[in-house]
Amino acid sequence: MNPAVGIIGKGLVLPVFGFTLGLGYFIKAWPDEAGSMTLQDSDSSRKKGQSNLQLQRHDIVDKITRHGLYQKLINDPNYEHSLQSHKIPPGHRAYHVGQGVLFGPDKLAIDPLILTNTKKHEVVIFYHLGKDLGNEKGKIHKGVLSLILDEALCYCGFPTLPSKRGVTAKLDIQFDKDIPADSTIVLKARVSEFKGRKCVIEGTLESLPTVYNSWINALWRPSQYAKAKCILVEPRWFKYIGWLNVF
């Protein structure tokens, strides 16, 4: 065999074959569509055949949608309203931490309500963190908060990137106060800088004000539980797989 042919085979054909095979199995693991999902626990309130989204705390959703902050944003023409589940194909939700294993009445108890200002690159997201996400002291685990911040800040920054997708290069979080379990919280994020394949997003986790009034809230601000800064980048090779809707 010609040595040159052997070199080409080892240096090009085998890596390409390996990448293609691996990518094929990766895509296969992500179903196009799926039926309902159920949480694997013994909560007696659940009925057979219910999906996770049917199990959310509708009383909490109603409370949030009547709140002054939500009403202000939903009536602002610069903000678009959506739910987290709208951003994730049905077949992928069971594999998503927030919509799958951590979703439930005593966990992430509602489908997060998202309000997005595309002109200013800002988002406001309402969550409810149930008692099962707390530690032995009744405070929400920091790992859950880190997950929420990473996901939300990336979501805020994606639209500024060339292919509208990227990866976290760095995430700095400062935890200021513990969050009591069974709390409704508000995440606020904005893009502070973006250029080319990189953007910087800053955000906070705050308590939901008991009363929303511009004068009152100017004097008594909501509790700030944490603040974070995320550097989001788009790898160069992302542009070559833009046709794959798997990221």
CATH number of 56-241: 3.10.129.10
Q: Taken in order 87, 191, 101, 140, is the CA torsion positive or negative?
A: negative
* Per-residue confidence (pLDDT) for residue 153, from 0 to 100: 97
Is residue 79 within 8 Å of 47, Cβ to Cβ?
A: no
pLDDT digit string (tens) for the chain, length 247 residues: 565 555 555 555 555 555 555 545 444 444 444 333 333 443 433 333 345 677 789 999 999 999 999 999 999 999 999 999 888 877 777 777 788 888 888 999 999 999 999 999 999 999 999 999 999 999 999 999 999 999 999 999 999 999 888 899 999 999 999 999 999 999 999 999 999 999 999 999 999 988 776 666 666 788 999 999 999 999 888 777 665 554 4
Instruction: List the alpha helices (DSSP H) in the chain.
Output: 3-8, 14-28, 58-66, 68-74, 142-157, 214-219
- φ and ψ at 100, to 5 degrees? -115, -100
pLDDT number for residue 164 = 87
pLDDT at 22: 54
Q: Which two tokens stand for residue 75?
A: 């009536």
Q: pTM (2 decimals)?
A: 0.76
Q: Which pLDDT belongs to residue 43?
A: 44
Burial 226-242 (b: 16+ CB within 10 A, else e): bbbbbbbbbeeebeeee
Q: What is the pLDDT of residue 97?
A: 77
Residue 239 phi/psi, 5° resolution?
-65, -20
Say what the pLDDT of residue 220 is. Answer: 73
* pLDDT, position 96: 78
Q: Which long-range contacts (CB under 8 A, 24 or more apart) does 143-148 make?
A: 144/102, 145/173, 145/175, 145/179, 145/205, 145/225, 145/226, 146/171, 146/173, 147/97, 147/98, 148/98, 148/187, 148/205
Question: What pLDDT is recorded for position 245?
Answer: 55
In 10 A of CB 147, how many CB atoms?
A: 15
